[in-house]
Amino acid sequence: MPTLIELAHEHTELEQGAIEHLAALVSEWGMLADFCFADMLLYIPVDKDRWLISGQVRAATGQTLYHSDYVDTWASDTERILLDKCIKSDATVQGEIFVQAINGTANMVAIPVRYEGRIIAVLSREWVVDNARRPGQLETTYADIFSKFAEMVAQGLFPFEGRVADASVAPRVGDGVIVLDAATRVRYASPNAVSALHRVGVSANAIGQTLAELGVAETAARNAYERKEPVIEEIEQTTEVTLLTRSIPLLRQLKDDIEVTGGVLLLRDVSELRRRDRLLLTKDATIREIHHRVKNNLQTISSLLRLQGRRLTSPEAKEAVAESVRRIRTIALVHETLSREPGEDISFIEIVRPLMRLVEEGLQSADRPVTFQAKGDGGRLPATIATPLSVVILELLQNAVDHGFPEGSAGGAVMVVLSHDEDELQIQVVNNGIALSPDFDFAKATGLGLSIVRTLVTTELAGTIEMRQATQADGVSSGVAMTKDGQGTVVELRLPVLARS
């Protein structure tokens, strides 16, 4: 469907300013339709006797007369009579039109749209009278407001000039309406507006009081009156209640001045929305705070264990405690990373590096230097995977050092190679030290380290693991130089994850 601007360019000679005026009208007219409870159409004269329908809007407050879309179609004969009359008399006119869709007559009010002193289009209100319904106070008040806006359209005072505040976020007529006089005294408050006022503690009858007396949205309305344009403002009325308001001045053209005859205050209680916004923010902060505390607690536990380890004399016991300390610190590390970043996932490479430092710290002898390196990218992993996986990597790094470069060996290099695609994460831990024994069987390994690895990989991570002697080719692909085949060990992990990079 062509837009209003496209239609105007295609069929008329209207200049840019005039087209923008019509576009601004159309961006605002939902409010007009709501006040008059009817369909509205915008007609542009194309040549001597043709009118193009270039916009259509339905009221959110009432029923529609037109179930189909008439944009980019021509005005009917009966419509044209009224449109021509409107132009000729240079005034708002009312009459009956024949509507094919209902095979009957409807009412139409044709309002001239003025721009820079001349009529550039006609705005219509089209409806069928519902005799069964007697209009209440709300209906008659809204009809009165509508006729004031219609007069503004005819005088070229609506849509408002200049800076068009984003009306899409503004409250709608259905949210709550307060009608004000020229002194911001309340003339009428719709039921929804009364409810909103109640929530901010205005329980007495507001009619006849000024906004200043009520203590509601006074500055916003004053500004709107002074600037003669709508003002949108969010007001934190109390700590509990937030009101979104739109103050619209009602204007009238005098000889050479524009008079503010009153105003309309649309208001919406957005407390619940804002409360949820705040909750979301604090929820994220709370999760991070919890990760921070878990990390602190784990650090305390590892310190206590380390203290206990120092009192032990048996080297075997000392080593066992030291291993436990490393495992606990590994988990603490994941929580520390999670406490720093928003969200529940982390870039895995950021954990691999500190894990390497952890193992490096545990190396005691300078006679067999071991270098550590990480290569590639593991993408982002959720905390539920990152935690067990970190424990696994720690064990593999520790084994690469312990068994690849035992006391008496010359030292060498350990490399972690990460790669991932859509649904699988691959991790290799490679060392170029002493090779894995040929009769090593992973399934039968009974050490605590590999038992932890096996359990976590198969249960928590649902992945596979393979351990084998390295070859020259591994040296090339991983970047850890192997001097000969049968040197070094490769541990290969494959995990099904929905990795996101």
Ligand X SMILES: Nc1ncnc2c1ncn2[C@@H]1O[C@H](COP(=O)(O)OP(=O)(O)O)[C@@H](O)[C@H]1O
Residue selected from 54, 390, 399, 428 as contacting ligand X according to rule CB under 6 A: 399
Site map for Mg ion, 421-450, x if CB under 5 A? ----------------------------x-
Residue 203 three-state SS: coil
H or E, element range at 10:
helix 4-11
Q: Is the peptide bond before 159 cis (omega within 30 degrees of 0)?
A: yes
Q: Which residue is listed with tokens 């037109």?
A: 66
Give the binding range for ligand X (CB under 6 A) out of 108-116, 251-259, 385-393, 397-405: 397-405
Of 191, 211, 197, 194, nearest to 263 (Cα)? 211
Residue 473 contact partner, candidates Mg ion, ligand X, none, CB within 5 to 8 A by sort of partner: none
Token pair, residue 467, equals 């351990």
Site map for ligand X, 453-492, x if CB under 6 A? ------------------------------------x---
At position 261, the amino acid (one-letter code) is: T
CB of 444 to ligand X, least distance (A): 10
Distances (CA, A) of 93 to 48, 112, 251, 488: 20, 9, 21, 95
Shortest Cβ contact with Mg ion: which residue?
A: 449
450 sits near ligand X (criterion: CB under 6 A): yes
425 sits near ligand X (criterion: CB under 6 A): no
Residue selected from 285, 445, 473, 476 as contacting ligand X according to rule CB under 6 A: 445
Residue 124 contact partner, candidates Mg ion, ligand X, none, CB within 5 to 8 A by sort of partner: none
Whose Cβ is closer to ligand X: residue 188's or residue 405's?
405
Question: Beta strands of 257-379 (E only): which ranges?
Answer: 258-269, 345-347, 370-376
Q: Which residue is listed with tokens 């006040």?
A: 35
CB of 298 to Mg ion, least distance (A): 21
Q: Which residue is listed with tokens 């001349």?
A: 118
* Residue 466 neighbours by CB under 8 Å, 6+ apart: 442, 491, 492
Whose Cβ is closer to ligand X: residue 230's or residue 488's?
488
Give the binding range for ligand X (CB under 6 A) out of 253-261, 309-317, 353-361, 399-407: 399-407
Gap between the Cα atoms of 379 and 499, Å rounded: 6
404 sits near ligand X (criterion: CB under 6 A): yes
399 sits near Mg ion (criterion: CB under 5 A): yes
Give the binding range for ligand X (CB under 6 A) out of 168-176, 195-203, 240-248, 439-447: 439-447
Distances (CA, A) of 372 to 17, 69, 78, 324, 464: 68, 69, 87, 22, 24
Q: Which residue is listed with tokens 């591994």?
A: 474
CB of 431 to Mg ion, least distance (A): 13
Q: Judged by CB under 6 A, how many residues of this single chain contact ligand X?
A: 15
CB of 316 to ligand X, least distance (A): 11
Q: Are 330 and 347 in contact (CB under 8 A)?
A: no
Query: Of 356-395, which residues contact ligand X (CB under 6 A)?
Result: 395
Strands 489-496, 93-99: pairing is unpaired
Whose Cβ is closer to Mg ion: residue 124's or residue 398's?
398
At position 340, the amino acid (one-letter code) is: R
CB of 273 to ligand X, least distance (A): 54
402 sits near ligand X (criterion: CB under 6 A): yes
H or E, element range at 49:
none
Residue 288 contact partner, candidates Mg ion, ligand X, none, CB within 5 to 8 A by sort of partner: none
* Residue 355 neighbours by CB under 8 Å, 6+ apart: 330, 333, 390, 393, 394, 397
Q: In this structure, what DSSP letter does residue 425 have?
A: E
CB of 398 to Mg ion, least distance (A): 5
Token pair, residue 267, equals 């208001």
CB of 400 to ligand X, least distance (A): 5
406 sits near ligand X (criterion: CB under 6 A): no
Give the binding range for ligand X (CB under 6 A) out of 31-39, 99-107, 190-198, 446-454: 446-454
Whose Cβ is closer to Mg ion: residue 230's or residue 449's?
449
CB of 311 to ligand X, least distance (A): 22
Gap between the Cα atoms of 348 and 341, Å rounded: 13
Binding site for Mg ion (CB under 5 A): 399, 449
Binding site for ligand X (CB under 6 A): 395, 399-400, 402-404, 431, 436, 440, 445, 447-450, 489
